[in-house]
Amino acid sequence: MSRLQGCWLDKEKDSMEKVVFLDRQSLNANVRKPSFDHEWEEYDQTSPNEVVSRLSDATIALTNKVPIRKETLDQLSNLKMIAVAATGYDVIDIGVCKEKGVSVANIRNYAVNTVPEHTFALILALKRNLIAYRDDVLDGRWQKHDQFCFFDYRISDLRNSTIGIFGEGALGQGTAKIAKGFGMEVLFADHPPPKADGVEFTSAEEVLKRSDIISLHCPLTDSSRGFIGMEQFKIMKNDSILINTARGGLVNEEDLVVALKEGLIGGAGFDVLTKEPPKDGNPLLDLKLPNFILTPHVAWASDEAQQFLADQLIDNVELFVQGNPQHLVV
């Protein structure tokens, strides 16, 4: 091979995109390889101290929950794009990406069925006290009873009840659609702009006062962090239930424990915690109450939703490389 040919091949390699997926194990779906010439690396998981070394010569990073913060971005001069394998992008330092000209794309509208359905799985389980009755059956209470059934726990219909929804995006509106099918009244909580068009809003305080169910479908931002706490629990009905399939940091978890134990609210169903996985513990993990349900951040994870996400993830990367990017955050 001539020296000239070698130089040409080196330049071709330099121009080739290097794509690195930091936490491939977080997605249980088929992830196709991009259609353009590229070098691909993937890792099941990546710890914080491995991010820089694994992205050192990457031009495109794929991440679901591995954080990419300022101290990392400062060391990644080749990085052009971060494709987030989720709708939420709070693991990325967006401001620094904007300053450095690093594009960030997220996933849109992939969980429009799975999250609202999981939301109502939690609602129905709590409103009909399924956990409490199941536990009694497992403990042998039904087998020892004198009649065909017993009424130890309250059961409530959804029809004619009121659901208050914080967040009127695709997931909030998908939840509202199911609620209307059950014959429920739907209230969307007002909030600062931007707001969705065509939605009638009610003040947040009025939503808390009137709702039998509060369901959270809003992003985690500096302004929304911990916005549901003791003050809000005291406004809510004492038999209302709180559902959170959005982000753990939206709710003050210590206050929730107190609210449940003191009967300020009737129950709660959560799919998220402030820190995941909760290796250092969490106050909600210690709750052994029949009116509290915790699932391990799986509301998004139906087979269909995960495959839709995986396909859109690579679509985002391909369109970015083609110069026609979609779903950009910055």
- Please indicate, yes or no, if residue 199 is contained in any of the structural domains: yes
- Give backbone dihedrals phi and psi of 243, rounded to 5 degrees, phi first: -115, 130
pTM, 2 dp = 0.88
pLDDT in tens, the chain (330 residues): 444 444 444 544 557 999 999 999 999 999 999 999 999 999 999 999 999 999 999 999 999 999 999 999 999 999 999 999 999 899 999 999 999 999 999 999 999 999 999 999 999 999 999 999 999 999 999 999 999 999 999 999 999 999 999 999 999 999 999 999 999 999 999 999 999 999 999 999 999 999 999 999 999 989 999 999 999 999 999 999 999 999 999 999 999 999 999 999 999 999 999 999 999 999 999 999 999 999 999 999 999 999 999 999 999 999 999 999 999 999
Residue from 54, 118, 247, 327 carrying the catalytic annotation = 247
Instruction: Tell me the helix, strand and coil percentages in the chain, rounded to 5.
Output: 35, 15, 50
pLDDT at 296: 98
> 103 and 145: one domain?
no
Residue from 297, 304, 318, 327 carrying the catalytic annotation = 297
> 37 and 182: one domain?
no
pLDDT at 169: 94
Residue 327: active-site member: no
- Please indicate, yes or no, if residue 326 is contained in any of the structural domains: no
> 170 and 99: one domain?
no
> 54 and 183: one domain?
no
- Please indicate, yes or no, if residue 329 is contained in any of the structural domains: no
Residue from 276, 304, 318, 327 carrying the catalytic annotation = 276
Pick from 22, 26, 67, 120: nearest CA to 275: 67
pLDDT at 14: 58
- Please indicate, yes or no, if residue 330 is contained in any of the structural domains: no
Q: For position 136, which CATH number holds?
A: 3.40.50.720
Residue 217: active-site member: no
- Please indicate, yes or no, if residue 192 is contained in any of the structural domains: yes
> 105 and 125: one domain?
no
Query: What's the one-letter identity of residue 213?
Result: I
> 44 and 187: one domain?
no
Count of domains in the chain? 2
> 233 and 181: one domain?
yes
Residue 205: active-site member: no
Q: Could you count the other beta carbons within 10 Å of the beta carbon of residue 196?
A: 13
DSSP states of 204-273 as a string?
HHHHHHH-SEEEE-----TTTTT-BSHHHHHHS-TT-EEEE-S-GGGB-HHHHHHHHHTTSSSEEEES--
Report helix, strand or coil for 17.
strand
> 57 and 182: one domain?
no
Alpha carbons 241 and 127: distance in angstroms, whole number: 8
Enclosing domain of residue 60: 3-110+304-321
Radius of gyration from C-alpha coordinates of the chain: 23
Contact yes or no for 251/242 (Cβ under 8 A)? yes
